[in-house]
Chains A and B, each alone.
Chain A
Amino acid sequence: MTDPNTSPSIELDDTTRAELERAGIIVSKVDFLYNWARGGSVWPLTFGLACCAIEMIASATSRFDISRFGSEVFRPSPRQADLMIVSGTVTKKMAPQVVRIYNQMPEPKWVIAMGACAISGGPFKQGYNVLKGIDRYIPVDVYLPGCPPRPEAVLQSLNYLQEKIRTQDIKSDPAFTEGRRQYPIPEFTGTDLNPPYNPEVWQPPVNPNPQTIKEEKEASA
């Protein structure tokens, strides 16, 4: 472990630490202990939106067994959950409820966007009733692509999340410094949600080469 964030000790080199350990002294950081404990017991929220939820459920069965990674306790209440797995298509009608559930979760909380639909709208992106990615309203920690992803991929995304949790700094991470993060719940209008995205969380993609548009406009004029 050479990464200073994940390493239990920054100042000590490995040989010194090994010597100390032989003498019965373990030198560590509170961060390391906190994150190690948290990462080993991530409680997901029980909720599914579409077919990805079936794969999520399969990852909790004996064949794939998500409890090997400490996440078998699916909580039916957002008040007791650490992790939100957005598994499936988020329709515009459902999006306010998803944001509301996220707001109800206590800190620290994490989000996995599972499947193409939750990431970007997927095959329904150009439709009139599907949200083009849940990351427009709430911050997403791990993007898990697939349509739907295999249960193994769910487990791998959990591993990535645990890796991320291990690098969190308690002093500076927004999960610990800002209190409970809550985001405004979008409202329904005649055609779309208002606002269509939360600019604090997400910005629409920008054309890196706007010159081409200008030229074509001049050519057409």
Chain B
Amino acid sequence: MSQPIDHETIIHRFSGVEWDDKFSALIVPVTEATAVAKWLRDDNKYLLDYCSNVTGVDYLDREIKEKVENEEGKMETVTRIDPSRIEVVYHLYSMEKHTGPFTIKQRTERNKPVVQSLTPIWRSCELQEREIFDLFGVNFIAHPDQRRILMWDEFEGHPMRKDYVEPFDYEWEPTPHDEILDKHQRGKVIV
């Protein structure tokens, strides 16, 4: 079933598209997303007619230490910063050709996340994109019905974000432990 899908053709066809070898995913710029998705669905070589899963991933700024060989031939530790971002990941299958999964990703900044909705291409994205809007706060351009799905409309914040702080509603417990113990300690100051 899951033969590796050739991604070279796509990269040659669309200029902004990159291939991420580490995650075996196609990284699609937001502006080209609709065109790439439509082509993946309709082209006879791919026929990726089924979107099984849409999800979001939140990355904070993080330092990565790598060992690199410098000019003198010695190993040196280099620190670089992996920038914060939110990715929206789509898993595609072809019911016609029995291939998949094929992963495409849209990247966006954390402060004002906007990506292109692929609901017009694959209808099955609709609810899952709403979930990402709800839990990650990503806005989807051209989504037909973008509103919260799991949390209530009045809810503030996006709980799946890494920097989400849950409301402090600790009540006394006889045997606190782990995270609850931390809340217990904080609760004492308030009491």
Interface residues of A (CB under 8 A from B): 92-93, 126-129, 132, 188-192, 196, 204-207, 210, 213, 216-217
Contact = CB atoms under 8 A, between A and B. Distances in A.
Interface of B: 150-157, 159, 166-167, 169, 171-173, 179-180, 183, 188-189, 191
B154 to A, nearest CB: 4
8 contacts: A126-B179, A129-B150, A190-B154, A190-B155, A191-B155, A191-B156, A191-B157, A213-B188
Contacts of A188: 152-155
A219 to B, nearest CB: 11
B162 to A, nearest CB: 14
A151 to B, nearest CB: 30
B169 A92 contact: no
Contacts of B153: 188
Given A126-B179, A216-B188, A191 B167 contact: yes
B152 to A, nearest CB: 4
A128 B172 contact: no
Q: What 8 pairs between A and B have smallest CB-CB spacing?
A: A190-B156, A191-B167, A188-B154, A128-B166, A188-B152, A204-B171, A207-B172, A93-B152
Contacts of A191: 155-157, 167
A69 to B, nearest CB: 36
A127 B183 CA distance: 13
Contacts of A205: 171-173
A149 B157 CA distance: 35
